[in-house]
């Protein structure tokens, strides 16, 4: 069982795997040191990316004593899994296998895309046509693109020949019959079929989790790794192609991000959404937003790592900003993982001053309006008295 930290007695969280032991929070983060979040949930320091399953059974050469179940069956006690340090600047770890999600961008390249025989020619296909007996001034050799109307144009002296919907042998026979030559030898081969253009290139993962491959339809790739997506795409294309082979890579990492949140000292918060590459640290994250805001406190910075919804604990990693920047310390310059939040709290004195000004500002406005009204009325009265004095003196 994973133990939570609280002021009273420890509570048990939802069952979880072995985790690193709770870290002692330094004095630079007094709010976190209370081990209690804003909603009363306890805070625990651990790394969800360093979970390990304990090995089952008795390891080779191990001296783990055997235990007896109530039923009398002897079992081996599983040894406790070793605790790994939380990844930081000088002790980084690799991220789990990337899982594709919207709106990632996949780049697909067709290594082997051969249509299943017998192939029937379609518009926009590229045919390799060769006629050795063609006119010397206008040879027929090389690639010819099938027009959208389904024909190939061989030149002004030969004209166009309709080949759409025919096999390669039927297309060669049609061209041979239409050429005004003495028994020409015509060879037709498929240089490139239009399906290659639909498969190759960048494909964005849509909101429904699929990518579109033109006439080959849609494929759901959400929740798959790159190797799984490659197998799924090849399996889908095998309905039309002969043993297809493709390569899949990610050109746009858009679904995995982390956040930098800066406190505005009583005047809201700024949230920055940054894409993750797998190598960022807290120092990198702050540098991408232009450094700490002027109202920030260097002693109130931490990294919050998301925990499962059923877990009644927070996972907070305190950041000693002064040690990182002024002394080059790497101990609390944590490695950032997808979904992490780097929180920069405002200076408490500036926050108190702003809160006080927000409370006193309406009172100051009310008093200012009252004083202005009083002074205006008094001014009118003084003017009336002066005018009355001048009128009486005139008589």
Please give the share of the chain, as a percent, with pLDDT higher than 70.
76
Higher-scoring residue by pLDDT: 316, 38: 316
Q: Residue 394 — pLDDT band, cuts 50, 70, 90?
A: low
DSSP for 238-252, please give it: TTTBSS-EEEEEEEE
Q: Which CATH number fits domain 126-192: 2.60.40, 1.10.357, 3.40.50, 3.30.1950?
A: 3.30.1950
Equal fold, 105-115+196-252 vs 126-192 = yes
DSSP secondary structure letter of residue 209: S
Query: Greater confidence, 12 or 390?
Result: 390
Mean pLDDT for the stretch of residues 358-366: 81
pLDDT in tens, 34-54: 455 555 655 555 444 444 333
pLDDT value of position 183: 85
Domain ranges of the chain: 1-52+85-96+256-346, 105-115+196-252, 126-192
Q: Which DSSP helix (H) or strand (E) runs through 260? A: strand 257-263
pLDDT score at 317: 94
Task: Return the higher-pLDDT residue of 309 and 395.
Answer: 309
pLDDT at 323: 95
Least confident among 34-43, 55-64, 212-221, 316-325:
55-64
Question: What is the model's pTM?
Answer: 0.63
Give the residue-averaged pLDDT of 207-217: 92
pLDDT of amino acid 77: 52
Contact 282, 334 (CB under 8 A): yes
Domain 105-115+196-252, CATH:
3.30.1950.10
Q: Determine phi and psi for 240, rounding to 5 degrees.
A: -115, -20
pLDDT at 170: 93
Nearest to 49 by CA among 91, 15, 102: 91
Q: Which residue has the higher pLDDT, 309 or 318?
A: 318
How large is the average pLDDT for residues 220-228? 95
- pLDDT at site 341: 96
pLDDT, tens digit, 9 for 90 and up, residues 102-118: 999 999 998 988 888 88
User: Is the backbone peptide bond immediately before 202 cis, with ω within 30 degrees of 0?
Assistant: no
Residue 363 confidence (pLDDT) above 50: yes
How far is it, in rounded angstroms, from Cα 187 to Cα 141?
10
Q: For residue 53, what is the DSSP state?
A: P
Given a cut of 90, whether residue 360 has pLDDT beyond it is no
**Could you read off the pLDDT of 152-207 as tens digits, one per residue?**
999 888 899 999 999 999 999 999 998 988 888 999 998 888 878 889 999 999 99
Query: What is the per-residue pLDDT for 221?
Result: 95
Q: Residue 19: its pLDDT value, please?
A: 38
Q: What is the pLDDT of residue 51?
A: 40
| CB atoms closer than 10 angstroms to residue 211 | 22
Q: How high is the pLDDT of residue 70?
A: 45
Q: Give the least confident one: 72-86, 169-183, 225-239.
A: 72-86
**Mean per-residue pLDDT for 292-306?**
94
- pLDDT for the residue 180: 84
Whether the per-residue pLDDT at 146 is higher than 50: the answer is yes
Q: Look at residue 79 in the predicted model and tell me its pLDDT.
A: 57
The DSSP element (H or E) to which 145 belongs, if any, is strand 140-145
Asked whether the bond before 118 is cis by omega within 30 degrees of 0, the reply is: yes
User: b/e map of 2-24 (b: 16 or more CB within 10 Å)?
Assistant: bebbbeeeeeebeebebbbebbe
Span 113-131, average pLDDT: 90
Residues 6 or more apart whose Cβ sits within 8 Å of residue 171 = 121, 127, 161, 163, 188
The answer for residues whose C-beta is within 8 angstroms of residue 230's C-beta and 6 or more apart is 246, 247, 248
């Amino acid at each position: 069982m994973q133990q939570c930290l609280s002021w009273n007695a420890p509570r048990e969280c939802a069952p979880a795997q072995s985790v690193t032991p709770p870290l002692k929070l330094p004095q630079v983060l007094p709010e976190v040191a209370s081990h209690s979040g804003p909603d009363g949930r306890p805070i625990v320091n651990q790394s969800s990316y360093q979970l390990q399953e304990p090995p089952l059974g008795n390891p080779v050469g191990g001296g783990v004593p055997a235990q007896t179940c109530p039923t009398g069956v002897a079992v081996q006690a599983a040894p406790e899994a070793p605790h790994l340090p939380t990844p930081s600047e000088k002790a980084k770890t690799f991220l789990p296998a990337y899982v594709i999600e919207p709106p990632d961008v996949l780049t697909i390249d067709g290594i082997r895309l051969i249509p299943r025989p017998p192939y029937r020619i379609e518009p926009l296909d590229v045919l390799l046509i060769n006629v050795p007996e063609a006119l010397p001034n206008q040879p027929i050799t090389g690639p010819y693109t099938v027009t959208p109307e389904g024909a190939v144009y061989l030149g002004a002296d030969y004209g166009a020949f309709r080949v759409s919907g025919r096999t390669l042998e039927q297309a060669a026979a049609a061209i041979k019959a239409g050429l005004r030559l003495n028994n020409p030898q015509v060879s037709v081969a498929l240089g490139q079929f239009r399906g290659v253009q639909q498969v190759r290139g960048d494909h964005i993962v849509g909101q429904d989790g699929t990518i579109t491959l033109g006439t080959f339809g849609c494929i759901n790739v959400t929740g798959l790794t790159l190797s799984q997506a490659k197998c799924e795409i090849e399996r889908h294309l095998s309905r039309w192609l002969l043993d297809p082979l493709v390569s899949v890579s990610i050109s746009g990492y858009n679904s995995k991000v982390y956040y930098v949140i800066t406190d505005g000292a009583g005047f809201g918060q700024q949230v920055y959404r940054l894409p993750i590459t797998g190598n960022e640290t807290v120092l990198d994250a702050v540098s991408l937003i232009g450094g700490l805001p002027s109202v920030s406190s260097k002693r109130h910075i931490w990294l919050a790592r998301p925990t499962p919804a059923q877990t009644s604990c927070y996972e907070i990693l305190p950041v000693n900003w002064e040690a990182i920047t002024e002394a080059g310390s790497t101990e609390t310059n944590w490695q950032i993982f997808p979904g992490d939040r780097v929180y920069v709290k405002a200076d408490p004195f500036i926050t108190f001053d702003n809160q006080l000004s927000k409370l006193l500002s309406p009172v100051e406005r009310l008093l200012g309006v009252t004083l202005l009204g009083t002074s205006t009325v008094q001014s009118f009265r003084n003017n009336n008295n002066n005018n009355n004095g001048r009128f009486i003196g005139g008589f």
